[in-house]
Each structure stands twice: as structure tokens, then as C-alpha cells.
Structure 1
Amino acid sequence: MLTEYRAEVMRFIDTHQHLLEKYGISFVQYGPHQKLLQQAAAPCSVFILSSGLVKVVRTTSLGQAFTLGVFDRGEVLGDVEAIMSMPYFGTVETVTDCTFWEVAPEQFLKMLAQEPDLNLLIHRAMISRLLNTSEKAAIQGTNKLFYSLLIVLREFSRLNDINLTLLQQKIHAYENSIQ
């Protein structure tokens, strides 16, 4: 998957330390299982993960929680919401001890406006996440279709008393692979 942007984000920060003070970026630490961003809350910070693991969870209006991903060093969190002036899309929780660079949304936007190299890097990071999400959705959609077709064929074979041993083996193997 496209994750090389994370390393580029870290290289940018390492080579542009002077920007930390200029834009009021602070270094913060959180222990495991702490909420960093809360779904539907107004953006209050943008975080760049320096070390550790975080997970992003989206909860539907019916209360179903879906983990959108687990991310590591270099991940930018809250950037989309800051740029779009929208509430946080999901909840971000630390999985392990984590360290972050934290910047206020207004300062983040100012930094994007005044630092073209960072602006391009953040755009590339967003596009990379979009491509990764699209690829995952396509794979999941294809697997659901494949699974549904296998079930239909299995039922068809039962109705017509057709012995499709190979088909049944594939269905069984698929069911075991998704558990």
C-alpha cells in the first residue's frame, strides 16, 4: 500500500525544526488507550505521530464501530478536518505509548499557506490515504460479491441435486479465511 508519505512527513519535520517554534508546534506524549480526537467534535488540534500506534474508529448512527485503520510513525491526524473546517470524522485512540507533534488548526492552515513543500506533502499524504481506502473498499466489495456468488451456486446445486464438491470446498475455504 502507499505508506511512503509517512517517512516523508518525518523527514520534513527532521529537516525543518525551525518551523516548530514558528508555528507553535509542541511535542506531547500520551499513554495507551487515550482518546486523541473524538468523532463529531470540533477540530482543536492536528497531530503528527512521532512514535507509537494509534487506531481510527468510525461509529455509525446505529452505534456500530468500524476500525478504519491502525497507524504508526508519520501519520497526520486531524488534517482533513482542519482544512475542511468540519468535525472530526472518527475517533483516534492511542494503542501504545505515543508521542506527537501537535499544532492548532489555524496554525496548521497558516503553515500550509506559507510552506509550499509541506502543502504538497500533506496533499500527497491525503491522496495516498484516499487511494489506500479505495483499494480496500474495492477488495472488500469484490470479496463480498465472490462470496455471494459462491453461496448462490451452492444453493443452486442443492436445489438441482448437483454434486459440486469443488465448489463446496471453495466456499468452505473462503468462509474459514474470513473468520
Structure 2
Amino acid sequence: MTLGARIEERRKAIGITQAELARRVGVRQSTMNSLIKGDSRTSRSLFQIARELRTTPDYLLGKIDDPDEGAPPPELPPTIQHLMMPVAFPSQPALEAMLRGLLRSMPDLSGDELAHELSMLLPTGLAQLRQPYRFEPLVNDDAPLALDEEPPVARRARSRGSRR
């Protein structure tokens, strides 16, 4: 089997196109095509080609018949690691005030647009809540608020800022 035939066989086994192989190796597709058609008998990129085809230059050159002999192990797909960490979350009144403020800042939106904007702004809103709230004992944080009432934490944070 020729060099070109072995490259073509491995390329198809891996399931990539000539163009993709050429891109990964860093050569023009016409160069890769010439190598596969047999116009070239070797390439300066032989090691990169073998690496991308998960084999060895010796296999591609016909010195050995097993494409896996001495080949680098296949790359494992990236894994997702889930971590559990304790998180201090603002009180319900503080969250309610934050969401009320976010909703007031978008009076012309509704439905899907509003949901999209809130999902984009929520991380920023939570990050801003973290700073002024120190989770000190408050005047009854669990008491329900009227819709236009500011939570005690926000009042205290604002009064702290005015003393600076």
C-alpha cells in the first residue's frame, strides 16, 4: 500500500475530510491531495500528518502494517467536573429588590425578550448584591416587603455609602 493510500485509509477511518486534515497539519489542501494521489512520495509534514491520523510515520511509509503500533493514544473528550461549593446567597428581599430594579430598567420588554435580558443581567445583578451585603443580623429579613418598599439591607448599604 502506498503512502497516499495509507493516508486516505486513516483519514476515512477517523472521519475527516482532506481539507480538514490539511488545515490541522498546516498545509494547503492541494499539497495534501498531491500526497494522497501519489504525486509526492514524502512530506516535511509527515510527523504532523501521522499525529493527526493517530498513527506513526512508519505505518504511513509502509515500514509496519499495524496503524496502532507505537501510535499515540487517542485524545479523550474533555470532561465536565461538577463541584459543590457552599455559597452565601442574598436574602429573598434583597433578590426581590434586585429583580424589581432589573424589571424597571426594561419597561418596553415582555415575554421572551424580557426573559432573555434578565438571563443576561442576572449574573451581574447577583455580583452587585454580593458587595454591599455582609449578611449581618438585620431587622427581620424574612418579613414580606410591599412592592415599592426597599429591603432593609439596601437601606443600610445606602446609608453606609453616604457616610463615606
Normalised by the shorter chain, which TM-score bucket? under 0.3
Largest Rg, 1 or 2:
2
State the TM-score, normalized to the length of structure 2: 0.22
Kindly indicate whether structure 1 or structure 2 has the higher relative contact order, using CA contacts under 8 Å at least 6 residues apart.
Answer: 1
State the TM-score, normalized to the length of structure 1: 0.21
Name the structure with the higher strand share: 1
